[in-house]
Structure 1
Amino acid sequence: MSDESIAADAAIDGDAVLRSHDVAEFAGTTPRALRHYHQIGLLSEVPRDSNGYRRYSARDLVRVLRIRQLAAGGVPLRKIGTLLDQGTQSQDSLLAELDRELRAEVERIEAQRKVMAELRRRFAQTARFNGGEGPSVTQQFDQDVWTLVTASGDIDADTAASIQDVLQSEAVAERIAAWHPEFERLEAQAHVDEASAERLVGQMVSFVETVTEATGITPFDEAKPIAGLIEGMQDDAFSPAQQQVWSRFLAAMETRWGAGSDSAEGGSEPAFE
Protein backbone atom coordinates (compact mmCIF):
# COMPACT_ATOMS: atom_id res chain seq x y z
CA MET A 1 0.00 0.00 0.00
CA SER A 2 1.38 3.45 -0.89
CA ASP A 3 2.00 6.19 1.62
CA GLU A 4 -0.87 8.14 0.03
CA SER A 5 -3.30 5.22 0.54
CA ILE A 6 -2.24 4.79 4.15
CA ALA A 7 -2.74 8.51 4.74
CA ALA A 8 -6.19 8.42 3.10
CA ASP A 9 -7.35 5.51 5.24
CA ALA A 10 -5.98 7.13 8.38
CA ALA A 11 -7.91 10.32 7.63
CA ILE A 12 -11.25 8.48 7.72
CA ASP A 13 -13.24 8.90 10.93
CA GLY A 14 -13.22 5.72 12.97
CA ASP A 15 -17.04 5.67 12.77
CA ALA A 16 -17.03 5.80 8.98
CA VAL A 17 -16.93 2.07 8.41
CA LEU A 18 -19.88 1.49 6.08
CA ARG A 19 -19.60 1.39 2.31
CA SER A 20 -22.33 2.46 -0.09
CA HIS A 21 -23.79 -1.00 -0.59
CA ASP A 22 -23.92 -1.54 3.19
CA VAL A 23 -25.85 1.70 3.77
CA ALA A 24 -28.12 0.99 0.81
CA GLU A 25 -28.91 -2.49 2.13
CA PHE A 26 -29.63 -1.22 5.64
CA ALA A 27 -31.88 1.58 4.33
CA GLY A 28 -33.69 -0.45 1.69
CA THR A 29 -32.40 1.62 -1.20
CA THR A 30 -29.60 1.49 -3.78
CA PRO A 31 -26.07 2.90 -4.11
CA ARG A 32 -27.36 4.84 -7.11
CA ALA A 33 -29.95 6.54 -4.89
CA LEU A 34 -27.20 7.44 -2.42
CA ARG A 35 -25.20 9.03 -5.22
CA HIS A 36 -28.28 11.03 -6.18
CA TYR A 37 -28.71 12.21 -2.59
CA HIS A 38 -25.12 13.44 -2.66
CA GLN A 39 -25.64 15.19 -6.01
CA ILE A 40 -28.68 17.14 -4.82
CA GLY A 41 -27.18 17.98 -1.43
CA LEU A 42 -29.31 15.75 0.77
CA LEU A 43 -26.16 13.97 1.91
CA SER A 44 -22.91 15.77 2.59
CA GLU A 45 -19.81 14.37 0.98
CA VAL A 46 -18.21 11.65 3.10
CA PRO A 47 -14.59 10.47 3.29
CA ARG A 48 -13.27 8.00 0.73
CA ASP A 49 -10.91 5.14 1.38
CA SER A 50 -7.70 4.45 -0.51
CA ASN A 51 -9.67 2.72 -3.27
CA GLY A 52 -11.95 5.71 -3.78
CA TYR A 53 -15.00 4.18 -2.12
CA ARG A 54 -17.17 6.37 0.09
CA ARG A 55 -17.19 5.41 3.76
CA TYR A 56 -20.27 6.24 5.87
CA SER A 57 -20.77 6.55 9.60
CA ALA A 58 -23.74 5.44 11.68
CA ARG A 59 -24.87 9.09 11.72
CA ASP A 60 -24.89 9.09 7.91
CA LEU A 61 -26.97 5.93 7.93
CA VAL A 62 -29.50 7.53 10.29
CA ARG A 63 -29.83 10.51 7.93
CA VAL A 64 -30.40 8.19 4.98
CA LEU A 65 -33.08 6.35 6.96
CA ARG A 66 -34.80 9.65 7.75
CA ILE A 67 -34.65 10.65 4.11
CA ARG A 68 -36.26 7.35 3.17
CA GLN A 69 -38.99 7.74 5.81
CA LEU A 70 -39.90 11.23 4.67
CA ALA A 71 -39.83 10.27 1.00
CA ALA A 72 -42.08 7.28 1.72
CA GLY A 73 -44.44 9.67 3.51
CA GLY A 74 -44.81 11.74 0.36
CA VAL A 75 -42.35 14.53 1.13
CA PRO A 76 -40.63 15.73 -2.08
CA LEU A 77 -36.85 15.29 -2.09
CA ARG A 78 -36.43 19.02 -2.69
CA LYS A 79 -38.00 19.72 0.73
CA ILE A 80 -36.39 16.95 2.75
CA GLY A 81 -33.05 18.70 3.17
CA THR A 82 -34.70 21.85 4.53
CA LEU A 83 -36.86 19.75 6.83
CA LEU A 84 -33.95 17.77 8.28
CA ASP A 85 -31.75 20.81 8.77
CA GLN A 86 -34.34 23.00 10.56
CA GLY A 87 -35.15 23.16 14.26
CA THR A 88 -38.06 21.31 15.80
CA GLN A 89 -40.50 24.24 15.57
CA SER A 90 -39.66 24.93 11.94
CA GLN A 91 -39.90 21.22 11.17
CA ASP A 92 -43.39 21.08 12.67
CA SER A 93 -44.51 24.04 10.56
CA LEU A 94 -43.13 22.50 7.39
CA LEU A 95 -44.63 19.11 8.21
CA ALA A 96 -48.03 20.76 8.76
CA GLU A 97 -47.75 22.38 5.33
CA LEU A 98 -46.77 19.07 3.76
CA ASP A 99 -49.69 17.39 5.52
CA ARG A 100 -52.07 19.91 3.95
CA GLU A 101 -50.56 19.20 0.54
CA LEU A 102 -50.97 15.46 1.09
CA ARG A 103 -54.62 15.90 2.12
CA ALA A 104 -55.24 17.86 -1.07
CA GLU A 105 -53.53 15.10 -3.04
CA VAL A 106 -55.70 12.47 -1.32
CA GLU A 107 -58.82 14.46 -2.25
CA ARG A 108 -57.63 14.67 -5.86
CA ILE A 109 -56.98 10.92 -5.97
CA GLU A 110 -60.38 10.18 -4.43
CA ALA A 111 -62.02 12.34 -7.09
CA GLN A 112 -60.13 10.43 -9.78
CA ARG A 113 -61.22 7.12 -8.25
CA LYS A 114 -64.84 8.26 -8.36
CA VAL A 115 -64.44 9.07 -12.05
CA MET A 116 -62.87 5.65 -12.68
CA ALA A 117 -65.65 3.93 -10.74
CA GLU A 118 -68.27 5.77 -12.78
CA LEU A 119 -66.55 4.85 -16.05
CA ARG A 120 -66.37 1.20 -15.02
CA ARG A 121 -70.02 1.25 -14.01
CA ARG A 122 -71.08 2.75 -17.32
CA PHE A 123 -68.93 0.34 -19.35
CA ALA A 124 -70.30 -2.64 -17.41
CA GLN A 125 -73.85 -1.37 -17.86
CA THR A 126 -73.32 -1.01 -21.60
CA ALA A 127 -71.77 -4.48 -21.85
CA ARG A 128 -74.74 -6.04 -20.04
CA PHE A 129 -77.18 -4.17 -22.25
CA ASN A 130 -75.36 -5.31 -25.40
CA GLY A 131 -74.75 -8.90 -24.35
CA GLY A 132 -71.04 -8.32 -23.75
CA GLU A 133 -70.41 -6.36 -26.96
CA GLY A 134 -69.03 -2.84 -27.15
CA PRO A 135 -71.24 0.26 -27.17
CA SER A 136 -73.25 1.24 -30.20
CA VAL A 137 -72.54 4.57 -31.88
CA THR A 138 -75.45 6.12 -30.00
CA GLN A 139 -74.35 4.68 -26.67
CA GLN A 140 -70.81 5.92 -27.28
CA PHE A 141 -72.21 9.38 -27.98
CA ASP A 142 -74.09 9.26 -24.67
CA GLN A 143 -70.92 8.27 -22.82
CA ASP A 144 -68.83 10.93 -24.56
CA VAL A 145 -71.32 13.68 -23.75
CA TRP A 146 -71.48 12.60 -20.11
CA THR A 147 -67.68 12.60 -19.90
CA LEU A 148 -67.55 16.05 -21.50
CA VAL A 149 -70.02 17.72 -19.15
CA THR A 150 -68.68 16.06 -15.98
CA ALA A 151 -64.91 16.04 -16.58
CA SER A 152 -64.96 19.63 -17.88
CA GLY A 153 -66.56 20.82 -14.63
CA ASP A 154 -69.68 22.08 -16.39
CA ILE A 155 -71.66 20.26 -13.73
CA ASP A 156 -70.29 19.57 -10.27
CA ALA A 157 -69.88 16.16 -8.66
CA ASP A 158 -73.00 16.50 -6.51
CA THR A 159 -75.17 17.36 -9.50
CA ALA A 160 -73.68 14.49 -11.50
CA ALA A 161 -74.35 12.07 -8.65
CA SER A 162 -77.93 13.31 -8.34
CA ILE A 163 -78.54 12.80 -12.05
CA GLN A 164 -77.00 9.31 -11.95
CA ASP A 165 -79.19 8.29 -9.02
CA VAL A 166 -82.29 9.39 -10.91
CA LEU A 167 -81.21 7.69 -14.16
CA GLN A 168 -80.87 4.39 -12.32
CA SER A 169 -84.34 4.61 -10.78
CA GLU A 170 -87.04 2.27 -12.09
CA ALA A 171 -89.34 5.06 -13.31
CA VAL A 172 -86.63 6.72 -15.38
CA ALA A 173 -85.32 3.39 -16.68
CA GLU A 174 -88.79 2.75 -18.10
CA ARG A 175 -88.75 6.16 -19.78
CA ILE A 176 -85.36 5.42 -21.34
CA ALA A 177 -86.50 2.00 -22.54
CA ALA A 178 -89.46 3.66 -24.24
CA TRP A 179 -87.33 5.56 -26.76
CA HIS A 180 -83.59 4.80 -26.62
CA PRO A 181 -83.56 1.37 -28.33
CA GLU A 182 -85.68 2.69 -31.18
CA PHE A 183 -83.46 5.75 -31.52
CA GLU A 184 -80.44 3.43 -31.71
CA ARG A 185 -82.05 1.43 -34.50
CA LEU A 186 -82.07 4.60 -36.61
CA GLU A 187 -78.26 4.50 -36.76
CA ALA A 188 -78.35 2.72 -40.13
CA GLN A 189 -81.24 4.71 -41.60
CA ALA A 190 -81.24 7.79 -43.79
CA HIS A 191 -84.85 8.75 -43.16
CA VAL A 192 -87.57 8.35 -40.53
CA ASP A 193 -91.27 8.79 -41.17
CA GLU A 194 -93.14 11.71 -39.66
CA ALA A 195 -95.24 9.69 -37.23
CA SER A 196 -92.26 7.76 -35.84
CA ALA A 197 -90.24 10.94 -35.43
CA GLU A 198 -93.03 12.71 -33.55
CA ARG A 199 -93.62 9.71 -31.30
CA LEU A 200 -89.92 9.42 -30.48
CA VAL A 201 -89.62 13.12 -29.73
CA GLY A 202 -92.61 12.93 -27.39
CA GLN A 203 -91.02 10.02 -25.51
CA MET A 204 -87.67 11.82 -25.30
CA VAL A 205 -89.25 14.98 -23.92
CA SER A 206 -91.24 12.91 -21.43
CA PHE A 207 -87.97 11.32 -20.29
CA VAL A 208 -86.34 14.74 -19.77
CA GLU A 209 -89.42 15.95 -17.88
CA THR A 210 -89.17 12.98 -15.52
CA VAL A 211 -85.49 13.66 -14.84
CA THR A 212 -86.17 17.38 -14.36
CA GLU A 213 -88.99 16.74 -11.90
CA ALA A 214 -86.83 14.31 -9.92
CA THR A 215 -83.69 16.48 -9.77
CA GLY A 216 -84.96 20.05 -10.12
CA ILE A 217 -82.34 20.52 -12.84
CA THR A 218 -83.34 21.83 -16.26
CA PRO A 219 -81.50 21.03 -19.53
CA PHE A 220 -78.30 22.86 -20.37
CA ASP A 221 -78.10 26.36 -21.82
CA GLU A 222 -77.60 26.16 -25.60
CA ALA A 223 -75.77 29.50 -25.52
CA LYS A 224 -72.89 27.95 -23.60
CA PRO A 225 -69.72 26.89 -25.48
CA ILE A 226 -70.15 23.28 -24.39
CA ALA A 227 -73.44 23.12 -26.27
CA GLY A 228 -71.53 23.84 -29.48
CA LEU A 229 -69.11 21.02 -28.73
CA ILE A 230 -71.96 18.60 -28.15
CA GLU A 231 -73.59 19.72 -31.39
CA GLY A 232 -70.37 18.96 -33.26
CA MET A 233 -70.20 15.52 -31.66
CA GLN A 234 -73.78 14.75 -32.59
CA ASP A 235 -73.13 15.75 -36.21
CA ASP A 236 -70.37 13.13 -36.35
CA ALA A 237 -72.24 10.42 -34.45
CA PHE A 238 -75.84 10.53 -35.67
CA SER A 239 -77.27 9.14 -38.88
CA PRO A 240 -79.50 11.35 -41.06
CA ALA A 241 -82.59 9.72 -39.53
CA GLN A 242 -81.31 10.36 -36.02
CA GLN A 243 -80.47 13.94 -36.96
CA GLN A 244 -84.08 14.49 -38.03
CA VAL A 245 -85.38 13.25 -34.69
CA TRP A 246 -82.74 15.09 -32.70
CA SER A 247 -83.44 18.43 -34.40
CA ARG A 248 -87.12 18.12 -33.56
CA PHE A 249 -86.22 17.12 -30.00
CA LEU A 250 -84.04 20.22 -29.54
CA ALA A 251 -86.83 22.41 -30.90
CA ALA A 252 -89.26 20.84 -28.43
CA MET A 253 -86.75 21.39 -25.64
CA GLU A 254 -86.44 25.06 -26.59
CA THR A 255 -90.21 25.44 -26.51
CA ARG A 256 -90.44 23.64 -23.17
CA TRP A 257 -87.38 25.02 -21.36
CA GLY A 258 -86.13 27.94 -23.46
CA ALA A 259 -85.40 31.38 -22.00
CA GLY A 260 -88.87 32.67 -22.75
CA SER A 261 -90.82 29.60 -21.69
CA ASP A 262 -92.94 29.29 -18.57
CA SER A 263 -90.69 26.47 -17.31
CA ALA A 264 -87.58 28.63 -17.59
CA GLU A 265 -89.25 31.35 -15.56
CA GLY A 266 -90.25 28.83 -12.90
CA GLY A 267 -86.83 28.92 -11.28
CA SER A 268 -85.44 25.42 -11.89
CA GLU A 269 -81.68 25.25 -11.68
CA PRO A 270 -79.94 24.95 -15.10
CA ALA A 271 -77.81 21.82 -15.20
CA PHE A 272 -74.78 23.23 -16.99
CA GLU A 273 -74.00 26.75 -15.86
Structure 2
Amino acid sequence: MHSNELARLAGVTVRALRHYHQVGVLAEPDRRSNGYREYDVHDLIRVLRIKRLASLGIPLERMPDLLDDTGDDAGELLDELDAELAAQIDRHTAQRGVIARLRASNAAPDLPPELAPFLAVFATGVSPELAKFDRDQSVLVAHLAGDGGIQHIARFYERLSEPDLVPAVAAVSERFGQLGPDSTERDIAELIESFMTTFAPVVTELAASQPPIDLTAAADIFAEHTSDLLNEQQQRALEELEGRLGA
Protein backbone atom coordinates (compact mmCIF):
# COMPACT_ATOMS: atom_id res chain seq x y z
CA MET A 1 0.00 0.00 0.00
CA HIS A 2 1.12 3.59 -0.65
CA SER A 3 1.46 6.26 2.02
CA ASN A 4 -1.96 7.76 1.21
CA GLU A 5 -3.65 4.40 1.73
CA LEU A 6 -1.72 3.67 4.91
CA ALA A 7 -2.61 7.08 6.30
CA ARG A 8 -6.30 6.56 5.44
CA LEU A 9 -6.47 3.10 7.01
CA ALA A 10 -4.63 4.22 10.16
CA GLY A 11 -6.57 7.46 10.52
CA VAL A 12 -3.52 9.72 10.35
CA THR A 13 -2.14 12.17 7.83
CA VAL A 14 0.66 11.58 5.35
CA ARG A 15 2.48 14.41 7.11
CA ALA A 16 2.25 12.44 10.37
CA LEU A 17 3.82 9.42 8.65
CA ARG A 18 6.71 11.59 7.47
CA HIS A 19 7.14 12.85 11.04
CA TYR A 20 7.21 9.27 12.36
CA HIS A 21 9.98 8.55 9.87
CA GLN A 22 11.95 11.62 10.94
CA VAL A 23 11.88 10.80 14.67
CA GLY A 24 12.64 7.12 14.04
CA VAL A 25 9.50 5.38 15.32
CA LEU A 26 8.48 4.11 11.87
CA ALA A 27 11.00 2.65 9.45
CA GLU A 28 11.02 4.32 6.07
CA PRO A 29 10.61 1.75 3.28
CA ASP A 30 12.60 2.02 0.09
CA ARG A 31 10.98 3.59 -2.91
CA ARG A 32 9.86 1.33 -5.73
CA SER A 33 10.76 1.89 -9.34
CA ASN A 34 7.63 4.01 -9.69
CA GLY A 35 8.94 6.41 -7.03
CA TYR A 36 6.38 5.46 -4.35
CA ARG A 37 7.11 3.94 -0.97
CA GLU A 38 5.43 0.61 -0.43
CA TYR A 39 4.02 -0.18 3.03
CA ASP A 40 2.56 -3.44 4.30
CA VAL A 41 0.21 -4.59 7.05
CA HIS A 42 3.04 -4.64 9.59
CA ASP A 43 3.57 -0.92 9.02
CA LEU A 44 -0.15 -0.38 9.53
CA ILE A 45 -0.03 -2.25 12.85
CA ARG A 46 2.97 -0.22 13.97
CA VAL A 47 1.25 3.07 13.14
CA LEU A 48 -1.83 1.93 15.08
CA ARG A 49 0.39 1.11 18.06
CA ILE A 50 2.05 4.55 17.77
CA LYS A 51 -1.41 6.17 17.82
CA ARG A 52 -2.38 4.17 20.90
CA LEU A 53 0.76 5.17 22.78
CA ALA A 54 0.37 8.80 21.73
CA SER A 55 -3.21 8.81 23.03
CA LEU A 56 -1.80 8.01 26.48
CA GLY A 57 0.52 10.98 26.28
CA ILE A 58 3.71 8.99 25.66
CA PRO A 59 6.17 11.16 23.71
CA LEU A 60 7.44 9.80 20.41
CA GLU A 61 11.04 9.69 21.61
CA ARG A 62 10.03 7.25 24.38
CA MET A 63 8.20 4.90 22.01
CA PRO A 64 10.93 2.85 20.26
CA ASP A 65 11.68 0.71 23.32
CA LEU A 66 7.98 0.00 23.82
CA LEU A 67 7.30 -0.67 20.14
CA ASP A 68 10.31 -2.94 19.73
CA ASP A 69 9.92 -4.64 23.13
CA THR A 70 13.53 -3.79 23.98
CA GLY A 71 12.81 -2.16 27.35
CA ASP A 72 11.10 -3.24 30.56
CA ASP A 73 10.28 0.25 31.87
CA ALA A 74 6.64 0.30 30.73
CA GLY A 75 5.40 0.27 34.32
CA GLU A 76 7.71 3.09 35.33
CA LEU A 77 6.65 5.11 32.29
CA LEU A 78 2.97 4.64 33.10
CA ASP A 79 3.66 5.80 36.67
CA GLU A 80 5.31 8.94 35.30
CA LEU A 81 2.41 9.62 32.96
CA ASP A 82 -0.10 9.11 35.75
CA ALA A 83 1.77 11.57 37.97
CA GLU A 84 1.91 14.13 35.15
CA LEU A 85 -1.82 13.77 34.52
CA ALA A 86 -2.58 14.15 38.23
CA ALA A 87 -0.53 17.36 38.29
CA GLN A 88 -2.36 18.65 35.22
CA ILE A 89 -5.71 17.91 36.86
CA ASP A 90 -4.61 19.85 39.95
CA ARG A 91 -3.55 22.80 37.77
CA HIS A 92 -6.80 22.74 35.82
CA THR A 93 -8.83 22.53 39.02
CA ALA A 94 -6.97 25.54 40.39
CA GLN A 95 -7.53 27.43 37.12
CA ARG A 96 -11.25 26.69 37.25
CA GLY A 97 -11.32 28.00 40.81
CA VAL A 98 -9.69 31.26 39.68
CA ILE A 99 -12.15 31.56 36.79
CA ALA A 100 -15.06 31.04 39.18
CA ARG A 101 -13.78 33.81 41.46
CA LEU A 102 -13.37 36.20 38.54
CA ARG A 103 -16.85 35.38 37.26
CA ALA A 104 -18.36 35.94 40.69
CA SER A 105 -16.74 39.39 40.80
CA ASN A 106 -17.58 40.15 37.17
CA ALA A 107 -13.89 40.94 36.80
CA ALA A 108 -11.59 40.95 33.80
CA PRO A 109 -9.45 37.80 33.45
CA ASP A 110 -6.19 39.77 33.56
CA LEU A 111 -6.80 40.99 37.12
CA PRO A 112 -5.20 39.34 40.17
CA PRO A 113 -8.01 37.08 41.42
CA GLU A 114 -7.15 37.87 45.05
CA LEU A 115 -7.86 41.58 44.45
CA ALA A 116 -10.54 41.43 41.74
CA PRO A 117 -13.58 41.37 44.08
CA PHE A 118 -12.48 44.59 45.77
CA LEU A 119 -11.49 46.48 42.63
CA ALA A 120 -15.12 46.33 41.48
CA VAL A 121 -16.07 48.17 44.69
CA PHE A 122 -13.36 50.82 44.26
CA ALA A 123 -14.29 51.44 40.60
CA THR A 124 -17.78 52.65 41.54
CA GLY A 125 -18.18 56.38 40.95
CA VAL A 126 -14.63 57.07 39.72
CA SER A 127 -13.58 58.20 36.27
CA PRO A 128 -12.53 55.60 33.66
CA GLU A 129 -8.99 57.01 33.82
CA LEU A 130 -8.74 56.54 37.59
CA ALA A 131 -10.35 53.09 37.37
CA LYS A 132 -7.68 52.13 34.83
CA PHE A 133 -4.98 53.50 37.12
CA ASP A 134 -6.29 51.44 40.05
CA ARG A 135 -6.50 48.32 37.88
CA ASP A 136 -2.97 48.68 36.51
CA GLN A 137 -1.60 49.43 39.97
CA SER A 138 -3.22 46.27 41.33
CA VAL A 139 -1.60 44.19 38.58
CA LEU A 140 1.78 45.75 39.32
CA VAL A 141 1.49 45.47 43.10
CA ALA A 142 0.32 41.86 42.95
CA HIS A 143 3.30 40.89 40.82
CA LEU A 144 5.89 42.76 42.89
CA ALA A 145 4.44 41.57 46.19
CA GLY A 146 4.79 37.95 45.09
CA ASP A 147 2.97 34.93 46.45
CA GLY A 148 3.95 35.76 50.01
CA GLY A 149 2.81 39.36 49.94
CA ILE A 150 -0.37 39.18 47.88
CA GLN A 151 -2.42 37.95 50.82
CA HIS A 152 -1.33 40.99 52.85
CA ILE A 153 -2.37 43.28 49.98
CA ALA A 154 -5.68 41.42 49.67
CA ARG A 155 -6.42 41.98 53.37
CA PHE A 156 -5.82 45.71 52.89
CA TYR A 157 -8.19 45.80 49.89
CA GLU A 158 -10.73 43.72 51.78
CA ARG A 159 -10.65 46.04 54.77
CA LEU A 160 -11.15 49.11 52.59
CA SER A 161 -14.13 47.51 50.82
CA GLU A 162 -16.03 46.84 54.05
CA PRO A 163 -19.40 48.64 54.19
CA ASP A 164 -18.34 51.05 56.93
CA LEU A 165 -15.44 52.35 54.83
CA VAL A 166 -16.76 52.18 51.26
CA PRO A 167 -18.46 55.64 51.26
CA ALA A 168 -15.33 57.35 52.63
CA VAL A 169 -13.02 55.48 50.22
CA ALA A 170 -15.29 56.37 47.28
CA ALA A 171 -15.36 60.04 48.35
CA VAL A 172 -11.57 60.24 48.62
CA SER A 173 -11.14 58.50 45.25
CA GLU A 174 -13.58 60.87 43.60
CA ARG A 175 -11.82 63.92 45.03
CA PHE A 176 -8.45 62.56 43.94
CA GLY A 177 -9.79 62.05 40.41
CA GLN A 178 -10.96 65.67 40.33
CA LEU A 179 -7.54 67.13 41.09
CA GLY A 180 -6.19 69.07 38.16
CA PRO A 181 -4.68 72.37 36.98
CA ASP A 182 -7.50 74.34 38.60
CA SER A 183 -7.01 72.71 42.02
CA THR A 184 -5.70 74.92 44.80
CA GLU A 185 -3.23 74.15 47.54
CA ARG A 186 -6.18 73.98 49.88
CA ASP A 187 -7.87 71.37 47.67
CA ILE A 188 -4.76 69.19 47.83
CA ALA A 189 -4.35 69.69 51.58
CA GLU A 190 -7.98 68.81 52.27
CA LEU A 191 -7.69 65.70 50.13
CA ILE A 192 -4.60 64.60 52.04
CA GLU A 193 -6.35 65.06 55.36
CA SER A 194 -9.37 63.10 54.15
CA PHE A 195 -7.08 60.37 52.87
CA MET A 196 -5.20 60.15 56.14
CA THR A 197 -8.45 60.05 58.12
CA THR A 198 -9.75 57.18 55.96
CA PHE A 199 -6.65 55.14 55.16
CA ALA A 200 -4.10 55.71 57.92
CA PRO A 201 -6.03 53.76 60.60
CA VAL A 202 -6.34 50.80 58.23
CA VAL A 203 -2.64 50.91 57.40
CA THR A 204 -1.77 51.08 61.09
CA GLU A 205 -4.17 48.27 61.93
CA LEU A 206 -2.75 45.91 59.30
CA ALA A 207 0.85 46.88 60.05
CA ALA A 208 0.28 45.88 63.66
CA SER A 209 -0.92 42.41 62.65
CA GLN A 210 2.14 41.69 60.50
CA PRO A 211 5.12 43.61 59.11
CA PRO A 212 4.28 45.68 56.01
CA ILE A 213 5.55 44.58 52.62
CA ASP A 214 8.75 46.29 51.57
CA LEU A 215 8.34 47.51 47.99
CA THR A 216 10.97 50.25 48.16
CA ALA A 217 13.10 48.43 45.59
CA ALA A 218 10.28 48.93 43.08
CA ALA A 219 9.82 52.65 43.84
CA ASP A 220 11.17 53.69 40.43
CA ILE A 221 8.69 51.42 38.66
CA PHE A 222 5.75 52.89 40.55
CA ALA A 223 7.05 56.42 39.96
CA GLU A 224 7.24 55.81 36.22
CA HIS A 225 3.70 54.46 36.19
CA THR A 226 2.21 57.37 38.14
CA SER A 227 4.06 59.97 36.07
CA ASP A 228 2.57 58.54 32.89
CA LEU A 229 -1.04 58.42 34.10
CA LEU A 230 -1.51 61.11 36.77
CA ASN A 231 -1.49 64.86 36.40
CA GLU A 232 0.87 67.15 38.31
CA GLN A 233 -1.54 67.86 41.16
CA GLN A 234 -2.33 64.18 41.67
CA GLN A 235 1.37 63.31 41.70
CA ARG A 236 2.04 66.02 44.30
CA ALA A 237 -0.74 64.68 46.47
CA LEU A 238 0.66 61.16 46.25
CA GLU A 239 4.16 62.30 47.14
CA GLU A 240 2.90 64.11 50.23
CA LEU A 241 0.77 61.14 51.22
CA GLU A 242 3.74 58.80 50.92
CA GLY A 243 5.68 61.04 53.27
CA ARG A 244 2.83 61.25 55.76
CA LEU A 245 2.20 57.50 55.72
CA GLY A 246 5.90 56.78 56.00
CA ALA A 247 6.10 59.00 59.06
- Would you say same fold, with TM above 0.5? yes
- Equivalent residue number for residue 13 of structure 2: 30
Matched, 1:39 2:32: no
Query: What TM-score does the superposition give when structure 1 sets the normalisation length?
Result: 0.64
Cα distance per residue 1:155-181 (max 9 Å; x no partner): 448616656655654345334312112
Match of 2:233 among 233, 241, 249: 241
| Native 8 Å contact 1:150 1:156 kept in 2 | no
Matched, 1:56 2:39: yes
- Equivalent residue number for residue 198 of structure 1: 189
- Equivalent residue number for residue 179 of structure 1: 172
> Within 1, Cα distance between the matches of 2:51 and 2:162?
50
Query: What TM-score does the superposition give when structure 2 sets the normalisation length?
Result: 0.70
- Equivalent residue number for residue 144 of structure 1: 136
Structure 1 position 136, deviation (Å): 3.1
Cα distance per residue 1:154-210 (max 9 Å; x no partner): 244861665665565434533431211221222xx1363344323323443423643
> Within 1, Cα distance between the matches of 2:12 and 2:69?
24
Structure 1 position 149, deviation (Å): 2.9
| Native 8 Å contact 2:124 2:170 kept in 1 | no
CA RMSD of aligned residues (A): 4.0
Counterparts in 2 of 1:33 and 1:232: CA distance versus 1, 3 Å:
same
- Equivalent residue number for residue 259 of structure 1: none
Paired residue secondary structure (1:149): helix
Counterparts in 2 of 1:232 and 1:89: CA distance versus 1, 3 Å:
same
> Within 2, Cα distance between the matches of 1:175 and 1:83?
68
| Native 8 Å contact 1:235 1:243 kept in 2 | yes
| Native 8 Å contact 1:166 1:211 kept in 2 | no
> Within 2, Cα distance between the matches of 1:142 and 1:251?
20
Paired residue secondary structure (1:56): coil
* Bigger CA radius of gyration: 1
Which structure has more RCO (C-alpha within 8 Å, separation ≥ 6)? 1
- Equivalent residue number for residue 77 of structure 1: 60
| Native 8 Å contact 1:38 1:45 kept in 2 | yes
Cα distance per residue 1:225-265 (max 9 Å; x no partner): 2232112211222101101210121112202xxxxxxxxxx
Counterparts in 2 of 1:202 and 1:71: CA distance versus 1, 3 Å:
farther
Cα distance per residue 1:105-161 (max 9 Å; x no partner): 555666667489463375x949x8589xxx733322222222223345624486166
> Within 2, Cα distance between the matches of 1:82 and 1:237?
60
Structure 1 position 30, deviation (Å): 0.6
Structure 1: stretches of 5+ with no match in the other structure? 1-17, 256-273
Matched positions, count: 231
